[in-house]
Structure 1
Amino acid sequence: MHRDIFAQRRNESLVFFSLLAILTVGSVIITHYDVVKGFLSFGEALNWGVSNFYPDAKSMIKLPDIFQKLKETVLMSVAATTIASAFALMLALVGSRTTRSNSFFSILSRGIASFFRNVPLVAWAMVLMLAFSQSALTGYLALFFGSVGFLTRSFIETIDEVSHNSVEALQATGARYSHIIFQSVLPSSMPQMISWLLYMIETNIRDATLVGILTGTGIGFSFDMYYKRLDYHSASLTVILIVITVILIESLSNKIRRVIL
């Protein structure tokens, strides 16, 4: 029996890697990609990066302006995520099988979450630019809509997993819906929800850089501006500060998770 299982897994792996190889070769042929030239140019690209893409003394003059844009990006990401979490919590309570009061609204809530979650952040930014042009509001709304979809889905799963038994116990005693929410669902689910919220803040700070390039705001706009001006030293300083900020935020987030979970 063990041999049959091993043989089945081996055949499945063989089929998977065969399909992957066929797709790879097909993509290379269709796009006329020169694989050899691509590998050979890697060394040239690395050499160019080492020679040009680093901060110099002149780029340090722009450090205060870069810090200001970075602060705007971080604050916008935090604001979009926290406000989105409030809407996501309401949708999750309606959509969760544990706390739903109406099947129609539960399906509607899950549908809204699925739609918002499956539309890429870049698509949100481009669509919103048609209505609000390039502005901070466009970037904020793009992050907000993406966060609502992701957090609603995460909160629904958290409520269904964590609160099911305690909710059934309170329902058996005849507790009212509000008592079930505030005395069972929220206390038991909140630590995991906060963990998802922190994760979303980390993700949005990373994504806000790309959104800023599209919407002309924040640190993404600064990087795009320096890069298009061929000011690679300032652009590299911007990238380094983004990486440091993301690492610090992630470290702080992990510490908070260890405390609450």
Structure 2
Amino acid sequence: MQSDIFAKRKKDSLIFFSLLIVVTVGSVVITQYDVSKGFTSLLKAFIWGGSNFYPDGKSLTILPDVLRKLWDTILMSIAATTVATVFATLLALVGSRTTRMNRVFSLVARGIASLFRNIPLVAWAMVLMLAFSQSSITGYLALFLGSFGFLSRAFIETIDEVSNDSVEALSATGASYSHIIFQSVLPSSLPQMISWILFMIDTNIRDATLVGLLTGTGIGFSFDLYYKSFNFHAASLVVILIVITVILIEMVSNTIRRVIM
């Protein structure tokens, strides 16, 4: 019996990798991608980066301005995530099967969460630019809406995983809906929800760079400005600071996760 299971898994894996190879080869043929040229270009890119894309003494003079823009980007990312958390929590309580008050409202809430979750952040930024042009509010709203969609869906699934035993026990004692939420559902879901919030902050700091390229704000705009003016030394300084910031934020997030989980 165990040998049959092993053989079936081996067969399924072989089929999967065969299909993957066929799709890869087909994509290369259809797009007429030159694989050898791609690898040689990659090598040239690394050589050019090592020769031109590094901070020099002159680029360090802009460090205070870059750090200020980076700080603004971090604050915007945190603000967008925290405000989105409030709205996502409310929508998740309505949409979750554990806490829903009405089946129709639950379906609508899940539909809203799925809709917002599946619209790319870049699409939000481009649509919002039509209404607010290139401004800080455009970047903030793009991050907020993207965070709202992701967190709503994540919170719904997290609350759905909460055991119904405690909910049923409180309901049997005549506890009100608010007591069930604040004494059972949220305390049980909070560690995982905090983990999702930290992940979203980490992700938003990365995405804020791309949003800044489109909306002309924050650290992304600084990189775009220096890069398009061929000031590659300053642009490389921006990239290095972004990488360092993301690594530090991730280290802090992982530490908090280990404490709360």
**Mapped partners of 1:183, 1:200: distance in 2:** 26
Match of 1:192 in 2: 192
Whether contact under 8 Å (2:113, 2:152) holds in the other structure is yes
Residues 40-49 or 209-218, more deviating: 40-49
| Number of residue pairs matched by the alignment | 261
Equivalence map 1:162-241=2 (5 Å): 162-241=162-241
> What RMSD in Å do the two structures reach over aligned CA positions?
1.1
Equivalence map 1:4-43=2 (5 Å): 4-43=4-43
Q: Aligned AA for 1:124?
A: W
Cα distance, 1:41 vs structure 2? 2.0
**Mapped partners of 2:44, 2:157: distance in 1:** 48
So what's the TM-score if we normalise by structure 1?
A: 0.97
Match of 1:95 in 2: 95
Match of 2:142 in 1: 142
Q: Aligned AA for 2:114?
A: S
Q: Aligned AA for 1:54?
A: Y
Match of 1:154 in 2: 154
For residue 73 of structure 1, give the secondary structure of its aligned residue in structure 2: helix
**Mapped partners of 1:39, 1:174: distance in 2:** 68
**Mapped partners of 2:205, 2:213: distance in 1:** 13
**Mapped partners of 1:68, 1:3: distance in 2:** 62
**Mapped partners of 2:229, 2:174: distance in 1:** 68
Whether contact under 8 Å (1:80, 1:143) holds in the other structure is yes
Match of 1:70 in 2: 70
Match of 2:83 in 1: 83
Cα distance, 1:94 vs structure 2? 0.5
Residues 233-242 or 7-16, more deviating: 7-16
Query: Does residue 168 of structure 2 align to residue 132 of structure 1?
Result: no
For residue 83 of structure 1, give the secondary structure of its aligned residue in structure 2: helix
Cα deviation, 1:38-78, whole Å, max 9, x if unaligned, reads: 11222211111100110000100111111111011101000
Whether contact under 8 Å (1:163, 1:184) holds in the other structure is no
For residue 57 of structure 1, give the secondary structure of its aligned residue in structure 2: coil
So what's the TM-score if we normalise by structure 2?
A: 0.97
Whether contact under 8 Å (1:223, 1:239) holds in the other structure is yes
**Mapped partners of 1:249, 1:151: distance in 2:** 19
Whether contact under 8 Å (2:98, 2:162) holds in the other structure is no
Cα distance, 1:163 vs structure 2? 4.7
For residue 161 of structure 2, give the secondary structure of its aligned residue in structure 1: helix
Cα distance, 1:126 vs structure 2? 1.0
**Mapped partners of 1:24, 1:134: distance in 2:** 39
Whether contact under 8 Å (1:89, 1:152) holds in the other structure is yes
**Mapped partners of 1:243, 1:40: distance in 2:** 26
**Mapped partners of 2:198, 2:109: distance in 1:** 23
Q: Aligned AA for 2:171?
A: Q
Match of 1:122 in 2: 122
**Mapped partners of 2:209, 2:185: distance in 1:** 35
For residue 99 of structure 2, give the secondary structure of its aligned residue in structure 1: coil
Runs of 4+ off more than 4 Å: none
**Mapped partners of 2:10, 2:184: distance in 1:** 47
Q: Aligned AA for 2:166?
A: S
Which runs of 5 or more structure 1 residues have no equivalent in the other structure?
none
For residue 55 of structure 2, give the secondary structure of its aligned residue in structure 1: coil
